[in-house]
Amino acid sequence: MDWEARFLQKTPGEVAVNTTPREVLRACWVGAEPEKHANTSLISWTDSVAAMFGIQKARHLEFAGQKIVTGMQPFAHCYGGHQFGQWAGQLGDGRAISIGEGRNQIGTYHEFQLKGSGLTAFSRRGDGKAVLRSSIREFLCSEAMHALGVASTRALSLHLTGQEVMRDMFYDGNPVMEPGAIICRVAPSFIRFGSFQIHTSRGDLATLESLVNHTISEHFPHIKDERNRLFLWLDEIIDSTIEMVIDWMRVGFVHGVMNTDNMSIHGLTIDYGPYGWIEDFDPNWTPNTTDANTLRYRFGHQPRIVLWNIARLLEAISPLVENRSILQEKINAAQDKMAHSHEKMWVNKLGLKQYDEELIQQLVELMYHDKVDMTMFFRLLSSLSKPELHQLEPAFLDIHTANQVDWKIWLKKYLEQTCDEHRAKMNLINPKYVLRNWMAQLAIDDAEKGDYAKIELLANLLLNPYEEGYEFEKDWFRRRPEWALNRPGCSMLSCSS
Ligand code: AMP
Ligand code: MG
């Protein structure tokens, strides 16, 4: 794979590397330089991603920013965003540096981005670094999501920088030194909703237009209808974004920080920070300690937040649109589409004949009340033939204290509503394994002691999340162990990566 820099050729930016924190005007990017380290070492490498581009492992130092080769032109993206519902102004890649673009085996361009490789113009008061624990979480989760069929940025490699980084994990004034790490992530591009918002917010329509033109012609080249090009493009972003969030709801993923700067224009899950997985079913759960009071980004709220974010994107593009009423129509249509996709997701997840609001509402209440593990429940439900609750016991905290009468009524009604054809496909969309928070923590605990075997083990397990017959099933198809209940990293997480 050769390195190219189309984004830098086609959009305005600042070539000179200058890491002084500042407002970067009339630019989509700023030149950057990955920091050099004496002892960078490779911990994990994703063969399937490397194979897409024909990259040999021997080149791994390029993907840790330790070797700059011909054609590579590292840069940081400029973007803004709404954070927790408020316009936050310029943000930009403060701890990510893109090293360039390369073509995969079928000729499609992808951008390679290093997370944690040092200061950029957007680092503000941060250090541009990432710690091992957060890097392991992003590395494992991006690939796990991809294998689950959820659109995501991919992860090629995970390196230790050999340098320690200071972090105050609990924001309690007790910082400690932690191992620094770099992941190389891969996506068609790392352009975000906020990449457009920043220029509109400044009234800089020339830069906005240039970015829109580049994005459509390079990343949506099949859109040929010149007159309706903007609308067709927005339709595609809306559709892929809705599909992504509905997939999150299907597998029990909670992003945790769905700010508009964390929304990919390719409908990919991006920026894995304090994310988490639903274990005991609770629509109000958020893994993000920063959001513990408002619960803006709680599990059950994600479809609504995505619609809100889509509205912000449409606003950002609106100065380029003559007939703005069409944008309002698009928001209304997106609402309908979200509702429809959500209903369809439930029908498939449960293997129903048709959507039944009451049946689903009752299930949600029962699962919440009796602390039922989401992943295990749906998996076990797929092989249930009689309304016998004990068959679902492994998913329950304590089946003896569960609401037996209501469950029995529900199961009976459920089995009457199912469709054999749909039920036969339940195991294709209800995973057996997801990256439960404590699973990632086990890999992190070992890695912090220099043992990386569990990273490989989990990466392999999660390559086939729908498959039965795994040798160590009992270790991972299980409810959260006791030790993980109040362990940091296993329930709530902060953004301090
Ligand atoms: P994120 O939590 O990844 O969505 O990041 C939000 C914003 O904070 C982005 O602009 C990041 O680049 C920036 N940021 C987060 N951590 C750091 C860090 N350690 N150094 C510099 N910037 C950071
Ligand atoms: Mg981000």
Residue 491 has pLDDT above 80, yes or no: no
Distance 240 CA to ligand 2 centre (A): 19
Residue 314 has pLDDT above 70, yes or no: yes
Give the pLDDT confidence of 126-169 residue by residue, as tens digits: 999 999 999 999 999 999 999 999 999 999 999 999 999 999 98
Confidence category of residue 62, pLDDT binned at 50, 70, 90: very high
**Integer CA distances (angstroms), 421 to 108, 259, 290, 418, 489, in order:** 37, 39, 43, 9, 40
Catalytic residues: 261
Confidence category of residue 497, pLDDT binned at 50, 70, 90: low
Ligand 1 close to Cβ of residue 155 (< 6 A): no
Distance 15 CA to ligand 1 centre (A): 22
Confidence category of residue 492, pLDDT binned at 50, 70, 90: confident
Q: Mean pLDDT over all residues of the chain?
A: 97
Atom 14, ligand 1: which residue's CA is nearest?
94
Residue 496 has pLDDT above 70, yes or no: no
CA-based torsion, 225, 226, 230, 231: positive or negative: negative
Q: What percent of the chain has pLDDT over 90?
A: 96
Region 237-244 average pLDDT: 98
Q: How far apart are CA 43 and CA 55, in angstroms?
A: 17
Q: How far apart are CA 137 and CA 184, in angstroms?
A: 13
Alpha-carbon 135 to chain mean position: 13
Do residues 268 and 152 touch, judged by C-beta distance below 8 A?
Answer: yes
Q: How far apart are CA 432 and CA 294, in angstroms?
A: 32
For 209-367, list the strands marked E by DSSP. 253-254, 276-277
Give the pLDDT confidence of 211-226 residue by residue, as tens digits: 999 999 999 999 999 9
Give the pLDDT confidence of 448-466 residue by residue, as tens digits: 999 999 999 999 999 999 9
Confidence category of residue 494, pLDDT binned at 50, 70, 90: confident
**Integer CA distances (angstroms), 259 to 232, 253, 272, in order:** 24, 16, 12
Reduced to 3 states (helix: H, G, I; strand: E, B; else coil), residue 467 is coil
Please report which residue ranges of 24-103 form alpha helices under DSSP H: 47-53
| pLDDT at residue 35, as a whole number | 98
Taking alpha carbons only, the member of 114, 284, 254 closest to residue 183 is 114
Taking alpha carbons only, the member of 53, 61, 71 closest to residue 110 is 53
Taking alpha carbons only, the member of 164, 169, 162, 128 closest to residue 41 is 162
Q: How far apart are CA 161 and CA 145, in angstroms?
A: 26
CA dihedral 421, 424, 425, 429 (to 10 degrees): 140
Atom 1, ligand 1: which residue's CA is nearest?
271
Q: How far apart are CA 347 and CA 341, in angstroms?
A: 10
Q: How many CB atoms lie within 10 A of CB 294?
A: 11
Atom 22, ligand 1: which residue's CA is nearest?
94
- Mutation test residue for ligand 1: of 95, 125, 134, the one with most atoms within 8 Å of CB: 95
- Mutation test residue for ligand 1: of 86, 114, 123, the one with most atoms within 8 Å of CB: 123
Q: What percent of the chain has pLDDT over 70?
A: 100
Q: How far apart are CA 350 and CA 347, in angstroms?
A: 5
